[in-house]
Structure 1
Amino acid sequence: MNWDDLRFFLALAREGTVSGAGRVLSVKHTTVARRISALEGMLGSRLFDRMPSGYALTQVGENLMPHAVGMEELMNAADREVFGMDAQLRGSLKLAASYDVLNRLITPKLPLFVNKYPEIDLELISSTDLIDLNSRQADIAVRLSPKPPEYLIGKEVLPLKHGIYASESYLKQGQRKNTVVLWRHEKEVPEWLQDHFPDSAVALRVSEIMTMVEAVKNGLGVARMPCYVADAEPGLRRLDLPLTPSNWGVWVLSHADLRSTARVRACRDFLIDVIEQQRDLILGNNSVYS
């Protein structure tokens, strides 16, 4: 049994379908099915039951699972250690952040990094999900977080400032019942809503910040948003209303095993610098209140 076989086993166990495993592994679903059949043939036991809804682990598969996960952790640790010993300012480097962080804070400054380090093959990973730095899905990340995982090292560059925003067109509509745009995960009424708009109606719930921005720009209501996003939007105005400060910050993070990697260190220093340069935007010092 080799690690490559176990990669296919783990992907199918986690995804439950050969098509899902194929997407994770970037191979065709027929390749997944063929590799699993070969592994089962080598072991002389079925690892999965083929169900109408997908693949389910047999008892043999369940027994194998913790050993496969242990092997995965060993391989990831070895990969990070080898990568971490690299002292050259060349090679691949994966940087992860949400779409809004990349496009508002980082991408406009990237020509400086690319021109300074032309031999670093930089890959940007834009995702609303948290990219797993432990398994090397990315080498470095910029995250908005109250507290990152302990296995990551890094720095909180700046605290994150928020405001309550509405569009100019919404504010010109005059006296009427207020409407608000909230996050999809907000099951309880947030504090700012209780304090300033207790009788408002929820117009919309969203899952990511740029959708919230567009909703507010189009007059669907007021919303609490980070200043670095909303202050830069023409047509949006921050309301002169007090807010309890957020405990979230802008963090630049990498795995502890990569602390000595030259290109990770160079990118980390670059990111900290460009975020510091945008201090007024992130702290909301540029807003004109309405």
Structure 2
Amino acid sequence: MDWDKLRIFHAVAAAGSLTAAGETLHLSQSAVSRQIRALEDSLTATLFHRHARGLILTEQGQFLFEATIAMSKRLDAASARIRDSDDEVFGELRVTTTIGFGSLWLAPRLPHLYNKYPDLKINLMLEESVLDLPMREADVAIRMKEPSQADLIRKRLMSVKMRLYATQDYIDEYGAPENLVGLKGHRLICQSTKSAQVAASSGFVQHLMTYEPRLSLTVNNYFGVLQAVLSGLGVGVLPDYVIEDFPNLVRVVQDAESNEVPVYLAYPEELRQSKRIAAFRDFVTEEIFAHRKRLQDDRA
């Protein structure tokens, strides 16, 4: 099968248009069309349904497109390994983690990484769904549970617990619940149990709801929960790592907390020698060590 024709087919399938693919490939529309027809002739199959709004993949075309996607990711992995054979840390590193951890803990600390490696470009992908690292949907992941995918290098970073917090201004005005029964007099702000999240967090919220708080506000991520708590709206369920960066938050109901949530860093085995991943791994490890030390100093 002609690699050049496959490259052109992949561009057309991704763009859904001969014209758009031609612009990406710097080819005329007629040249792209001829290559697609030649590929269809060689396969004796129709790859696209043609209509006024553009092109739609046929069933055979979809099979081929999935194959070219896999090929493209493998080529990206090979390219990354070649680039990482250099001593310098530069280029793009695609990092995936949850919205809460990425926005509340990781992003505020990235200046430390950029100060050390100014030529490194971080593509931070924040979402609750688990991306496929072996298929190169991302280079490295920070996840709230141990990854189950094969061919991954895993490193446990720390543990997180969900606890109850409110601002000092809120406590001064409305008081703090002394125990879980006292939640009946307060608005509980938490992540929706219908949102994608770890079982420990969902279970903790479900337990809190049995105490029938006066009102509740549910959000689909912890960043939204935090903003509502900071505005003085009520008592919020938040991960304990937010305390250092938001010292105006006060923990309430000291004995109420979720089970431990392990936090793992993971990346594909094939990127073991990656200088970019090593730099990111060391940065995260150093930041967590510093985070723990500051918390210990505060307790002391």
1:96 is matched with 95
Contact 1:153 1:253 in 2 (8 A): yes
CA distance in structure 2 between the aligned counterparts of 1:75 and 1:221, rounded to whole angstroms = 50
Cα contact 1:47–1:61 (8 A) shared by 2? yes
Q: Which residue number corresponds to residue 40 of structure 1?
A: 36
Asked if the contact 1:164/1:238 (under 8 Å) is kept, the reply is yes
Distance 1:158 1:32 in 2: 54
Partners of 2:67 and 2:139 lie apart in 1 by 26
Please state how far the C-alpha of 1:279 moved relative to its aligned partner.
1.6
Q: Does the aligned pair in 2 maintain the 1:166–1:217 contact within 8 Å?
A: yes
Confirm or deny that 1:64 pairs with 2:64: yes
Higher Cα Rg: structure 1 or 2? 2
**CA-to-partner distance for each residue in 1:236-284, whole Å, 9 max, x for gaps?**
21111322322331x3333211212334323322331222121256x79
Q: Which residue of 1 aligns with 2:123?
A: 125
- AA of the residue aligned to 1:191: G
Shift of 1:71: 2.9
Change (3 A) 1:5 1:161: same
Partner amino acid for 2:191? W
Bigger helix fraction:
2
Aligned to 2:179: none
Cα pair 1:231 1:284 within 8 Å, conserved = no
Q: CA offsets, 1:69-107, max 9 Å, x none?
A: 4533542453344345x0412431415252223234x32
Contact 2:48 2:55 in 1 (8 A): yes
Q: 1:170 to 1:156 in 2, by over 3 A?
A: same
| CA offsets 1:167-222 (integer angstroms, 9 cap, x no match) | 33433225864322232453799433454452125533323322211111123332
Aligned length: 268
User: Does residue 244 of the first structure (1) align with residue 244 of the second (2)?
Assistant: no
Match of 1:182 in 2: 190
Counterpart for residue 191 of structure 1: 203
Partner residue of 1:152?
Answer: 152
Instruction: List aligned pairs for 1:1-290, cutoff 5 A.
Output: 1=2, 2=4, 3-12=6-15, 37-43=33-39, 44=41, 46-50=46-50, 55-84=55-84, 86-94=85-93, 96-97=95-96, 98-104=102-108, 106-110=109-113, 113-114=116-117, 121-129=119-127, 133-136=133-136, 138-141=138-141, 143-148=142-147, 149-171=149-171, 172-174=173-175, 177-184=185-192, 186=194, 190-197=202-209, 198-200=211-213, 203-239=216-252, 240-249=254-263, 251-280=264-293, 286=298
CA contact (8 A) 1:80 1:257 kept: no
Is the alpha carbon distance of 1:211 and 1:155 closer, same or farther for their aligned partners in structure 2, counting shifts above 3 Å?
same
2:74–2:136 Cα contact (<8 Å) kept: no
Per the alignment, do residues 159 and 52 of structure 1 end up closer, same or farther by CA in structure 2, a change over 3 Å counting?
farther
Structure 1: runs of 5+ lacking an equivalent: none
**Aligned residue identity for 1:162:** M
- Secondary structure in 1 matching 2:204: helix
CA distance in 2, matches of 1:88, 1:224: 44
Mapped to 2, the partners of 1:33 and 1:183 lie a distance apart of 49
* 2:203 counterpart letter in structure 1: E
Residue 155 of structure 1 deviates from its aligned partner by 1.1
The normalised TM-score by structure 2 is: 0.70
